[in-house]
A = this chain, B = another copy of it.
């Protein structure tokens, strides 16, 4: 029914009309003159009307028919539309642009990602990044609901997440956090039983100890603080001690001390989680690759 106009053909048409000649257009198209002649003729046949004034009687310069004149702006628009889309897609597939959404647990978000993201977006000025931080469960939910392209979190029960692919990256050692000057502060490592005689504040990460021999500590603890800012403030005030993964420990703290838990030695593995059956958008894949590369050494 409707003819299929090829973009190449439209370009030829526009060039002939703008350069006022088949030879000039041929040169621009990196084709020979007969190729352009045929291309134009084919287009004319498809449209059912001549686009240029009778070309056998060369009384004058190559000129558009009224029909061709009517067609010209439309052809230009269509070409422009095509090019806009083609360019969009090229930029996207070269991850020079687009939209990237990720979620991360706060520890990595604050300690590791800033550096990496800064480097990553350095030469991608038009990439828009949406970033969420929350605890591991929430991050997993966002991955599941496809609210984010991928998540950075801990995968507690790996067998419950067969629909997701987990790529471990960071080994996060659990340790004891206490004020400097605290009896435990100068040790190289502590045994869980050492903690029983101190006031222990549990927090969101405490359940990492659940399946270890240190689990009795959890019952022992009177206080639970979910908010990290409050937790730090209480520790600094000498209210007690807590356990935290290394990456959740505020790096530049001058008042607190991190002492690795030696027995049991507990580490959580933090990594990238994505849905198994979905591939990532180009910029998301690029960021994943970049993170892997930056943390490989």
Which of A76-84, A120-128, A205-213 contacts its partner?
A: A76-84
With a cutoff of 8 Å between Cβ atoms, the chain B residues found around residue A49 in the complex are 89, 92-93, 282
Closest to A48 in B: B93
Question: With A6-B7, A8-B4 as given contacts, are A88 and B67 in contact (CB-CB < 8 Å)?
Answer: no
Of A53, A65, A87, most buried by chain B (CB within 10 Å of CB) is: A65
Kindly supply a per-residue 1/0 record for chain A positions 46-78, scoring 1 wherever the CB is within 8 Å of any chain B CB and 0 otherwise. 011110011000011001011100110011011
Q: Are A53 and B279 in contact (CB under 8 A)?
A: yes
With a cutoff of 8 Å between Cβ atoms, the chain B residues found around residue A35 in the complex are none
C-alpha spacing A94/B1, complex, angstroms: 13
With a cutoff of 8 Å between Cβ atoms, the chain B residues found around residue A63 in the complex are 277
> Measured between C-beta atoms, what is the minimum distance from A75 to chain B in Å?
8
With a cutoff of 8 Å between Cβ atoms, the chain B residues found around residue A33 in the complex are none
Q: Are A81 and B83 in contact (CB under 8 A)?
A: no
Q: Are A78 and B85 in contact (CB under 8 A)?
A: yes
With a cutoff of 8 Å between Cβ atoms, the chain B residues found around residue A282 in the complex are 48-49, 67
> Measured between C-beta atoms, what is the minimum distance from A94 to chain B in Å?
7
Closest to A146 in B: B66
Closest to A83 in B: B2
C-alpha spacing A2/B83, complex, angstroms: 7
- Is A5 in the interface zone, CB < 8 Å from B? yes
Kindly supply a per-residue 1/0 record for chain A positions 1-18, scoring 1 wherever the CB is within 8 Å of any chain B CB and 0 otherwise. 011111110000000000
Question: With A65-B279, A83-B2 as given contacts, are A70 and B90 in contact (CB-CB < 8 Å)?
Answer: no
Q: Are A66 and B277 in contact (CB under 8 A)?
A: no
- Is A135 in the interface zone, CB < 8 Å from B? no
Q: How many residues of A contact B (CB 8 A)?
A: 46
- A selection of 6 A-B contacts at a CB cut-off of 8 Å is A4-B82, A4-B86, A7-B7, A49-B93, A53-B277, A70-B92
Q: Are B93 and A54 in contact (CB under 8 A)?
A: no
Closest to A8 in B: B4
C-alpha spacing A54/B90, complex, angstroms: 20
Of A5, A65, A66, most buried by chain B (CB within 10 Å of CB) is: A66
Q: Are B53 and A67 in contact (CB under 8 A)?
A: no
Question: With A81-B78, A90-B48 as given contacts, are A70 and B3 in contact (CB-CB < 8 Å)?
Answer: no
> Measured between C-beta atoms, what is the minimum distance from A89 to chain B in Å?
5
Q: Are A5 and B82 in contact (CB under 8 A)?
A: yes
- Is A167 in the interface zone, CB < 8 Å from B? no
Q: Are A74 and B88 in contact (CB under 8 A)?
A: yes
Q: Are B66 and A279 in contact (CB under 8 A)?
A: yes
Question: With A53-B277, A74-B88 as given contacts, are A67 and B82 in contact (CB-CB < 8 Å)?
Answer: no
With a cutoff of 8 Å between Cβ atoms, the chain B residues found around residue A65 in the complex are 278-279
C-alpha spacing A251/B6, complex, angstroms: 55
> Measured between C-beta atoms, what is the minimum distance from A283 to chain B in Å?
10
